Amino acid sequence: MRLSTSTNIMDRYQSIQNKITLEECIKACAKAGYKVLDINFCDMSNEGMPLTFDNWEEWVDSIGELGSKLGIEFSQSHSAFYNVCDMTIEDRPWREELVRRAIIGSAKLGVKWVVFHAGTVYDNGFSAEKSKKSNLEYFAPHIELAKKVGTGIAIENLFELPVERKRRYTGTVEELIDIVDSINDSSVGICWDFGHGNLMGIDQNKALRQIGKRLAATHVADNSGKRDDHVAPFYGQIDWAPLMKTLKEIKYQYDFTYEIHNFTNRMPIELRETALKHSVEIGEYLLSLAK
């Protein structure tokens, strides 16, 4: 298990998104001591961002070259996401093109696991059965593309929408395991988001044991238990020490990947270097608990 971080750890300046380029972020992370990164393609899919350009493949290649120069490995990524079960979304074809680019771009960078959100069917209320069926149909072609280009898909646990209190499919560990087992393909696994698990009040040690060998990726962030704060471990309420021992127990073999953009995005740029180094220190301490 290695320490990694999403590139959203440094992609905005005092809450103004996308004012710091991905290239700048990669350089800053390398300087702070990171050796492994998660490419946040969902932010790179926003309007005016590189994945939306006609020359997106050239841009991806340039990111790969920069990573090689700095000794950085890209092992995980996050695809653009939306409610994939909602067939009424007007720009769905464009969103799907961005998903396709994220899969291909991930493979170009050597990424092992592309993280996806499942969708939810609301048919006079939440329907787990219809959501599962819709997601199985949705993921099938994406899995085939991922296998063709040489990467894998990890489906992430979600949480209830805080305002509407709407159930979302894969908000429970049972739903997450069920869809991955139903797909039954070695190129498909689970991404466990610790922040989401905390918001759902899940016994995360029990959940990790249930998931076991299906665990392919992680999203590591802390929160207050009230909203998805995305702050560094120990800046929220999650009890991390038992979780690290459980990751060791289940023989988790992939990366311990931060998704902690709100830990840094309100800081002045002058403090980012110190904050990034501090995040590395926190991660190294946590990994020491799993040895």
What is the tens place of the pLDDT at every residue in 7-66? 999 887 655 555 789 999 999 999 999 999 999 999 999 888 999 999 999 999 999 999
Q: Does the pTM of the predicted model rise above 0.75?
A: yes
Give the confidence band of 98 by pLDDT, cuts at 50, 70, 90.
Answer: very high
User: Look-up: residue for tokens 């990726």?
Assistant: 217
User: Look-up: residue for tokens 């149909």?
Assistant: 137
Reduced to 3 states, what is the DSSP secondary structure of residue 199? helix
If residue 108 lies in a helix (H) or strand (E), which one and from where to where? Answer: helix 92-108
Residue 61 is predicted with a pLDDT of: 98
Domains of the chain, CATH where assigned:
2-288 (3.20.20.150)
Residue 158 is predicted with a pLDDT of: 96
CA dist 205 and 247 (Å) reads: 9
CA dist 155 and 181 (Å) reads: 12
Asked if the model's pLDDT at residue 273 lies above 80, the reply is: yes
CA dist 127 and 125 (Å) reads: 6
Q: Using a pLDDT cut of 90, give the percent of the chain over it.
A: 85
Residue 161 is predicted with a pLDDT of: 66
Q: What is the mean pLDDT of residues 192-221?
A: 98
Q: What is the mean pLDDT of residues 232-257?
A: 98
**Higher pLDDT among residues 159 and 191, named by residue:** 191
Which residues on neighbouring strands pair with residue 155, listed in sequence order? 116, 190
Give the confidence band of 111 by pLDDT, cuts at 50, 70, 90.
Answer: very high
Q: Euclidean distance between the first and final Cα of the chain, in Å? A: 9
What is the tens place of the pLDDT at every residue in 133-148? 999 999 999 999 999 9
Residue 122 is predicted with a pLDDT of: 87
Residue 165 is predicted with a pLDDT of: 59
Residue 164 is predicted with a pLDDT of: 57
Give the confidence band of 250 by pLDDT, cuts at 50, 70, 90.
Answer: very high
